[in-house]
């Protein structure tokens, strides 16, 4: 059963279904902080809001794309100039990283959050160094009452796998990540049986 997915300015809805079906095969899944996800073998990425778990689903994570919250105009220009699309044939590796941030993060004001995310943690500045190797899509889940606040999705080619590890290492060591209270890191490869 699917609900109508928001489209246009409101964003696009996505459901990530962990189970036995889907184009992406899970190579590893680990809890970085907080509880893990039940062990699944594949992830099906569905471009709609799945209302109830499909048969065989072990977990479903849902989110919507949205407007940017923190990006400045100059940053956006750099991002737009460098960011590649999802679905590149050579980008056979993916990372699905759902993240929840603590109540103390959400108690901050917008300008305080920007200060931590970029001025002190350089999330965007660091991230830009990994473009165009890494393609990404950010989904918001917090306002949907989901277990995570964000579902992040990344695609990269096997030759850039080590660079991706370096990137997540930088971010996890940042001040911003002190506010992450649940994070699961799911890695996948496309298509393989
Ligand atoms: C590939 C390089 C990356 C770039 C260029 C990048 C860029 C960005 C940008 C521009 C935003 C702010 C969006 C906004 O204004 O609302 C953002 C948010 C976010 N990114 Fe990244 N990022 C990268 C990698 C990562 C990685 C590897 C992770 C997870 C391990 C991650 C997790 C997040 C999360 C959770 C948010 C939402 C933060 C919040 O709104 O509190 N990013 N990213």
- Per the structure block, which two tokens stand in for 77? 């220009």
Q: Indicate the top mutation candidate among 104, 127, 169 to test ligand 1's pocket, ranked by most ligand atoms within 8 A of CB.
A: 127
Atom in ligand 1 nearest the alpha carbon of residue 136? 1
Report the alpha-carbon distance of residue 129 to residue 153 in Å, rounded.
17
Is residue 88 pLDDT above 70, yes or no? yes
What pLDDT is stored for residue 143 in this prediction? 96
pLDDT greater than 50 at residue 1: no
For the chain, the farthest-separated pair of C-alpha atoms sits apart, in whole angstroms, at 46
- Between the CA of 152 and the centroid of ligand 1 the distance, in Å, is 8
Q: What is the pLDDT of residues 5-42, one digit of tens each?
A: 444 556 899 999 999 999 999 999 999 999 999 999 99
Residue 9's pLDDT is what?
Answer: 53
Which pTM does this prediction carry? 0.96
The pLDDT assigned to 191 comes to 87
Residue with tokens 């809001």: 49
Which residues contact residue 155 at a Cβ distance below 8 angstroms, ignoring those fewer than 6 apart? Answer: 86, 87, 88, 91, 93, 94, 134, 135, 136
pLDDT of residue 69: 98
Q: Closest Cα partner for 63 from 136, 146, 135? A: 146
Compute the 3-state secondary structure of the chain and give helix, strand, coil in percent, each to the nearest 5. Answer: 30, 35, 35
- Tens of pLDDT along 159-188? 999 999 999 999 999 999 999 999 999 999
Q: What is the pLDDT of residues 95-136, one digit of tens each?
A: 999 999 999 999 999 999 999 999 999 999 999 999 999 999
pLDDT exceeds cutoff 70 at 73: yes
Determine which helix (DSSP H) or strand (DSSP E) holds 81, and give its type and residue range: helix 73-82
On the 0-12 / 13-18 / 19+ scale of CB atoms within 10 A, 143 is: exposed
CB atoms within 10 A of CB 184: 22
pLDDT at 11: 85
Q: Is 106 in the pocket of ligand 1 (CB under 6 A)?
A: no
For residue 193, name the pLDDT band (cuts at 50, 70, 90).
Answer: low
Residue 4: its pLDDT value, please? 47
Q: 138 in ligand 1 pocket by Cβ < 6 Å?
A: yes
């Amino acid at each position: 059963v699917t609900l109508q997915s928001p489209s246009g300015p409101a964003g696009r809805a996505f459901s990530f279904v962990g189970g036995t079906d889907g184009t992406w095969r899970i190579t590893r899944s680990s809890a970085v902080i907080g509880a893990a996800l039940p062990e699944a073998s594949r992830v099906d990425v569905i471009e709609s809001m799945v209302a109830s778990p499909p048969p065989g689903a072990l977990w479903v994570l849902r989110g919507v794309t949205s407007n940017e919250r923190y990006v400045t105009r100059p940053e956006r220009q750099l991002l737009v100039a460098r960011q590649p699309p999802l679905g590149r044939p050579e980008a056979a590796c993916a990372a699905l990283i759902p993240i929840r941030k603590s109540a103390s993060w959400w108690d901050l004001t917008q300008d305080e959050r920007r200060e931590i995310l970029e001025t002190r943690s350089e999330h965007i500045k660091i991230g830009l160094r990994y473009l165009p190797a890494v393609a990404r899509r950010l989904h918001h889940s917090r306002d949907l009452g989901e277990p995570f606040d964000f579902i992040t999705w990344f695609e990269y080619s096997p030759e850039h796998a080590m660079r991706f590890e370096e990137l997540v290492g930088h971010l996890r060591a940042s001040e911003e990540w002190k506010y992450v209270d649940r994070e699961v890191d799911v890695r996948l490869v496309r298509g393989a049986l």
